[in-house]
Amino acid sequence: MKRMLVLLCILSLLLAAAACDRPAGTEPSAQTATEPAVTITLAPAPTGAATVEIDLAASETEAATAIPAPSAVPIPEPTATPEPTPEPTPEPEPLAFVASADFPLPDLSTQIQKGRPFWIDGVIESVEPLTRVGVIVTDENNRPQIDVEVRFAASEGVTSYALLDKTFSKSITDLAEQVTFQKLAVGTYTLHLSADDAAGRSKTVAECTFRVTNESWIQLQPNNMRGNYTTALAFFGSEDRFLFRYKLQTDSTHITVDPAWRELFDGEAVCVKGKKWRCHVDAIPYFEAAGRYIDNTYIHISSTGPGRKFDTGAVWLADLVEQNGSIVRRFTNSNLFISHHSFGTAVDINAHYASQKDKLENRDKIYREVTQNLTYNGFKEVDGKLCYDFTYTGSASSGPCGVPEPLLNYLLYELGFYRAGFSWGVYYPHTSDAMHFTLTELSPSLFTEGEYAMRKVFAYLDDPTGDEAMELEETDDAAKNAVLSFDSFDGGGPSFDVTVDDPSVVDVTSRIVYDSGDYEEIDGAGWHEIFTFVGRKEGETIATVESYSPLDGTYISRYAVSVDASHAVTVTLIDSVSEGDLDVVEEEP
């Protein structure tokens, strides 16, 4: 039995070897005549044992038949991913209306006051040339109360039409100007805006329903602003900060603001020369930044060109501010739009100079003086002060401190208000109002780019903060200064202003000091304004102090100012309209 098992093992090995030697892919064939059979005969077994004969060829054939060779699995060809079918580009509307964010169409939440103008805007877009754009306003009985239109010849090729002319030119009568909301009686109305094109299409592109009311308190609307609602909203962050309720005063221009809003609009910023300027509470840091820049800046302008010859010496930029006005709650002179002075985000400076007045031709005048006749030379030390140095070649008349009058507010903007984030009214699209500096109407970028860009200064001297400026007065040279102090109080006390006939002799700075540290919690808190006279060169001049209060009116006092060779200053009272009423305290240097 053991021998049989051994033979079976040998047979298995032989079959495995034969399978390995067969070329790949060939099948075993049946035995032919030339392939003799292999017979293994076991040795004779003991008596009674069986004899086993194994035919290897037959066994191989049987084994091959029993275990077929594996067949190759076909590998499928890769299938390309089909490209997605692009979405078809929608065809533009043959006639469509694009609404305006600054002058939206009214709805039932809009309060349109009887007898007051209300402006709408938006753009009609057309594939074919427009031939007509019209507005019909119907009352509750569907009777037309306003029916106006503008027409175009197809040959003009007008495919885009704005309802409102943003320059508000008197020479242009646009469709919005013909929609006279101010003539509507109290009631509910529907506005239908329609357009026709050269292809014969006619379509109502917008409709809205609104009310005209006659309330005593009127809600200010975005449409009451001269196309700068979105600019104001970006500054304030919320309509709740500036779209107030108001009443018209008898002149229909000035307004009374709802008392609930007054805490927002009665802020005070300590600004140029330490004076308090009234403004919106959100605008305080901007006004105070402008004041710091102006109070800590000196300029120098010289002229040796074909125009008049002069040298200003070192000029304190604050001395160019001769007049200002901030909060005035009113509509503009045209009575069409709210003035941003009502918000306390704008100030007018040097309004009495011709070049700074509200006239369109002044923009070209100022631009020419700045870009053609003024050269910025960088920093220069003059009279012991580090100045922004300029050369002038024009012939304009001089303003304060000998500075050419058309340059006054340019310099205040370039070196003060622009740096503090204000825009300049010289860039109004409909006029030039160079006296006007504002936070909520225009973009400061107009000063640096575009047709009337004027910026020249791109690097600034370090400006000290208010605390650092105070420390500068505590140096040894401070003993040479002279000081005048005037007493007042909040809520009706006198305000003070000092002007010097010859600013090249002496500088004047001011600051306000309250009598109590908790003055914000005290009604009628007392304070005194301190004017410090700093000598610039040996000489004499006159200082005029103007005091004004609602109760006592205006008082004028004159002082003789003398500066010796060491720059020590002496200030002596000459005369006063009502001597003693100002409660003047003179301090010897």
For the chain, list the domains and their CATH numbers. Answer: 2-66 (no CATH), 95-215 (2.60.40.2550), 232-447 (no CATH), 473-587 (2.60.40)
Distance CA 48, CA 431 (A): 136
> What is the pLDDT at residue 261?
86
Helix (H, G, I), strand (E, B) or coil at 183: helix
**Least confident span in 11-15, 227-231, 244-248, 511-515:** 11-15
> What is the pLDDT at residue 295?
94
Please tell me which residue, 149 or 261, carries the higher pLDDT value: 149
Contacts of 581 (CB under 8 A, 6+ apart): 552, 555
> What is the pLDDT at residue 18?
53
Q: Is the pLDDT of residue 64 over 90?
A: no
Supply the DSSP symbol for 434: T
Please tell me which residue, 508 or 359, carries the higher pLDDT value: 359
> What is the pLDDT at residue 220?
92
Distance CA 519, CA 323 (A): 28
Average pLDDT of the residues in 421-431: 93
Q: Are strands 298-303 and 315-316 parallel, antiparallel or unpaired?
A: antiparallel
Average pLDDT of the residues in 475-503: 77
Helix (H, G, I), strand (E, B) or coil at 441: coil
Q: Which among 303, 515, 498 has a CA at the least distance from the CA of 395?
A: 303
pLDDT-based confidence at 163, cuts 50/70/90? Answer: very high
Distances (CA, A) of 418 to 192, 275, 412, 424: 44, 20, 8, 8
Contacts of 330 (CB under 8 A, 6+ apart): 253, 254, 255, 339, 341, 342
Distance CA 477, CA 420 (A): 31
Q: Is the pLDDT of residue 78 over 60?
A: no
pLDDT one-digit tens code per residue, 373-418: 999 998 899 998 999 999 999 999 999 999 999 999 999 999 999 9
Q: Which among 224, 166, 201, 215 has a CA at the least distance from the CA of 92?
A: 201
> What is the pLDDT at residue 263?
85
Average pLDDT of the residues in 124-132: 95
pLDDT one-digit tens code per residue, 545-589: 888 877 677 888 889 999 988 888 898 888 876 544 444 433 333
Q: Which among 244, 434, 222, 260 has a CA at the least distance from the CA of 329?
A: 244
> What is the pLDDT at residue 65?
45
Q: Which among 179, 203, 200, 201 has a CA at the least distance from the CA of 189?
A: 179
**b (16+ CB within 10 A) / e for 489-524:** bbeebbebbbebeebbbbbbbbbeeeeeeeeeeeee
CA 572 to centroid of chain Cα atoms: 49
- Biggest CA pair distance of the chain: 165
pLDDT-based confidence at 7, cuts 50/70/90? Answer: low
| Average pLDDT of the chain, as a whole number | 81
Residue with the two structure tokens 């700045």: 370
Q: Is the pLDDT of residue 105 over 90?
A: yes
**Least confident span in 75-84, 92-101, 113-122:** 75-84
**Least confident span in 70-84, 190-204, 510-524:** 70-84
